[in-house]
Chain A
Amino acid sequence: SAVISQKPSRDICQRGTSLTIQCQVDSQVTMMFWYRQQPGQSLTLIATANQGSEATYESGFVIDKFPISRPNLTFSTLTVSNMSPEDSSIYLCSVERPGQGNYNEQFFGPGTRLTVL
């Protein structure tokens, strides 16, 4: 398994500001993922962050809005820039590690609940 922590656990922010969310893993992982879960909606992948390379963004998400850093194999940050109320969501960090049996498994952090006023 993997122990994943996120900071902050929640925040309330003003429109137009930016928030950086941190994700720390207890062991080295190649791939880290950032998801968004808007109220009443499913989890949606924002981007995949590999250490030493630029993050790969999914359709509908851009680097200017959601810059990601991956300075080492145990840490990543996601910044939500120039926030608007539509950015109010839970943001989740995830990593892929060996899990049940011989299969890789995605483990999720506790999430960061963001409210934008």
Chain B
Amino acid sequence: AQRVTQPEKLLSVFKGAPVELKCNYSYSGSPELFWYVQYSRQRLQLLLRHISRESIKGFTADLNKGETSFHLKKPFAQEEDSAMYYCALLTHSQGGSEKLVFGKGTKLTVNP
């Protein structure tokens, strides 16, 4: 079964503290994973994807196939990081179509 699990519905940290948003996946194929972010009153947007191996806004995420995880990390959280974060898995059907499967999201609050 194709599934993305974000175990934390809510996560609260203080400014300057490290933050880790957890994501685990279940997929029989080769996984392609993403983190999307939705800031207050803004639309959902791509934060980063594991293929590009970039650090965006100080966030990184490493794909760990052994643990089937793609946790999002930032060493020093900022107040502007407060948002809803969604982990997503790109799946491929036998017919060749692609679709994104999303986790339920984690609401991150960074307190001053």
A4: which B residues are within 8 A, CB to CB?
43
Contact A56 B97 (CB under 8 A): yes
The answer to whether B52 and A43 have CB atoms under 8 Å apart is no
**How many chain-A residues does the 8 Å CB contact rule pick out?**
23
Q: A103 contacts B49, CB within 8 Å?
A: yes
Stretch at the interface among B14-22, B62-70, B73-81, B98-106: B98-106
B11 contacts partner chain A, Cβ-Cβ < 8 Å: no
- 11 extra A-B contacts, CB within 8 A, seeds A92-B44, A103-B52: A42-B86, A42-B102, A42-B105, A43-B86, A43-B100, A44-B102, A45-B101, A100-B52, A101-B52, A108-B43, A110-B43
Contact-residue bracket for chain B: 10 to 19
User: Which A residues are closer than 8 A to B by beta carbons?
Assistant: 4, 33, 40-45, 48, 56, 58, 92, 99-101, 103, 105-111
- Rounded to whole angstroms, the CA-CA distance of A41 and B101 in the bound complex is 12
